[in-house]
Amino acid sequence: MSDVSEPRGAGAFGLLTIFALPFAGVGAYTGYLLLAALASGNGDAERLLLLTVFSLVFGGVGVGLIWGDRHSRAQQALQDRLRRSHPNEPWRWNPDWADGRVRGGNRTRMYFVWAFALIWNLITAPMLTQLPGEFAKGNYGALFGLLFPAAGAGLLWWAIRATIRYRRFGVSDFRLDTIPGRIGGKLSGQIETGMRTRPPGDVTVKLTSVHRYRTTGSKKETREKILWQDEYRLAESDLRQGPNGIALPVEFTIPDECKGTDEIDPGNRHLWRLEAAAQLAGVDFHTQFEVPVFVTSEPNAAAVGWPAESTVVRRERDEFDPSSSPVQITSTRAGNTEFVFPAGRNKSVALSLTVLLLIFGGATAGLAWWLRSSEQPFIFTLFTALFPVVFGLFTLLILFFALDAWFAKSRVVIADGRLSSRRTLFGSGKPREIAVADIAEIQLGIGMSQNQTATQSGKAYYDIEIHPKTGKRFKAGQGIPNKREAEWIAKQMREMTAA
């Protein structure tokens, strides 16, 4: 159970307003200069553009921070009242969870994307006025600067698609059967979407436990680590009619070893995300919720009291079809069993790394060429030389991961009472071997994970872990994208080692 600490004061939020005032002041002053230049008719186009950019960017950031400060203070005051009213029920401290109905984030995401896209394009707009002059001087290294307006065009397209998605599907609600979801119990309910027509394929529903934390040291940044994940697919027969469109039944069994929601420390949180996605013509459907999952002393969470017909229909989890697995399992006449994890089996990961490699490699080459061709003072050249070096180091790191994704393969052999595992890249790799009698258990572990970004959801990739009775655990196959597949492979290994 989360500790009921003293409510956080509003002083930190007041400092945000103080921080925002200079931005708002610069925006107001440059806005005044812009109006004066327009009234006098003396301003050239480049100066007017710069004044417009400064007034909109600085003014927008200042006003946005002040509004965010006021909104955060109001939300904090409401949360503090809920904490005092329900000191032993932390799932009721969040206003979005109190009544058992959680709102999706499609509208908020649309606003964020538009704000980010507009600010980016305003900041990079002056480049478009400078680049033609640079090209005229023969400075073709300035072509590198086109990447920024190109990225701005991509952001605008992203914002347009987010708007189309919101206009088409609206905001989805997740209606819980009980508050909260319980560690060692279930999270169940239904997602009420704005989909008017049933999707032609399956709908994927995913629940993820995430540890979000801030790193220590000189470079502080927020990172996320997937601790647990499960998902299933809903066929057309599983869907039902909701109040505003198609409703999706939700039911997950949560293991005892998982961590519950913990929001006491914003820099070290444990949270739970529920997602649903379906491929449709035009824009795909996708919605996401942050849901309450807690450790509770009660065997069952409190019922919300929705109508009986809203409860989730019991259904079976997806069955895994072994014929769809790229992992090859063969038995020899001598009674040996081999598990071969072929190279390049996760093509989406390999392709993503390849694209990233091309971007960083191209940026490194462009920076190096520009640095070589430009005539700048020695100190400036020495300073800017750090950029291609840093980009080059990232390029080498990405190259290693890309080669690993395309060409690394693993082979696990169970023979003569022993299990041997070897992972090789271009034929090089050290084997690990253990007697079957010395294996304590064979379990799944989350190895590589794809963190959530603004354009993709978080995804866990599973490793088969061999836990010896003594000594360190090691992997016997890794990077399996399907949890059902990983469970099936681990089951085969357990049966082979138990025989």
Q: What is the distance between the alpha carbons of residues 480 and 327, in angstroms, rounded to a whole number? A: 9
Q: What is the distance between the alpha carbons of residues 491 and 390, in angstroms, rounded to a whole number? A: 44
- With a cut of 50, say whether residue 322 has pLDDT above it: yes
- Supply angle C-alpha 263, 289, 319, rounded to 5: 115
Query: Per-residue pLDDT averaged across 107-132, rounded?
Result: 81
- Supply the pLDDT for residue 151: 84
Strands 293-294 and 302-303, by their bridges, are: unpaired
Give tens-digit pLDDT for 399-429: 999 999 999 999 999 888 889 999 999 888 8
Q: What is the distance between the alpha carbons of residues 180 and 270, in angstroms, rounded to a whole number? A: 15
- Supply the pLDDT for residue 311: 43
For 4-13, 193-202, 256-265, 346-355, which range has the lowest pLDDT when averaged over its residues? Answer: 4-13
DSSP per-residue string spanning 336-353? -EEEEE-TT--HHHHHHH
Give tens-digit pLDDT for 143-162: 666 777 888 888 899 899 88
319 or 190, greater pLDDT:
190
DSSP per-residue string spanning 183-201? TTSEEEEEEE----S--SS
For 290-299, 303-312, 436-445, 471-480, which range has the lowest pLDDT when averaged over its residues? Answer: 303-312
For 9-18, 249-258, 261-270, which range has the lowest pLDDT when averaged over its residues? Answer: 9-18
Q: How confident is the model at residue 66 (pLDDT cuts 50, 70, 90)?
A: confident
- With a cut of 70, say whether residue 462 has pLDDT above it: yes
Q: What is the distance between the alpha carbons of residues 189 and 239, in angstroms, rounded to a whole number? A: 13
Task: Read off the tokens for 95.
Answer: 């206003």
Phi/psi at 277 (nearest 5 deg)?
-145, 145
Task: Check if the beta carbon of residue 356 is closer than 8 Å to that of residue 412.
Answer: no
Per-residue DSSP letter, 431: -
- Supply the pLDDT for residue 337: 86
* Cis, bond preceding 307 (omega within 30 deg of 0): no
Task: Read off the tokens for 262.
Answer: 């913990």
**Start-to-end Cα distance in the chain:** 43
- Residue 438 is which amino acid? D
- Supply the pLDDT for residue 108: 85
- β-partners of residue 178 are 303
- Supply angle C-alpha 113, 115, 116, rounded to 5: 65
Angstrom CA distances, 7 to 4, 149, 264, stand at: 9, 44, 10
- Supply the pLDDT for residue 2: 42
- Supply the pLDDT for residue 144: 66
